[in-house]
Amino acid sequence: MSKICSICKKGPVAGRTIKRRGLAKKKGGVGKKITGITIRRFLPNLQTVRAKVNGQIKRIRVCTKCLKAGKITKA
């Protein structure tokens, strides 16, 4: 199953997690150092919903933002 909203086409977005070590300068240390950066994905909050699409009832994957906005009519 794809991780894309059927209504607004919202999909996964790439980001990073940064690992740091050391004590902050304002706490008396020499400063934080970055020891590693890994790529991560932010996934949309998709829900499977039975909705009317072109007069027919279908199961579609919709993000919660579209559900709250009332962009679909539930079956």
Per residue, the 3-state secondary structure of 19-49, as one string, reads EEECCCHHHCCCCCEEEEEEEEEECCCEEEE
Distance CA 32, CA 18 (A): 11
H or E stretch at 69:
helix 64-69
Q: Where are the domains of the chain?
A: 13-69
Question: Residue 75 — pLDDT band, cuts 50, 70, 90?
Answer: confident
Q: What is the pLDDT at residue 66?
A: 95
pLDDT tens readout for residues 3-58? 999 999 999 999 999 999 999 999 999 999 999 999 999 999 999 999 999 999 99
Task: Give, as one character, the DSSP assignment of residue 68.
Answer: H
Report, in angstroms and rounded to the nearest whole number, the Rg of the chain calculated over CA atoms: 21
Q: Which CATH class is domain 13-69?
A: mainly beta
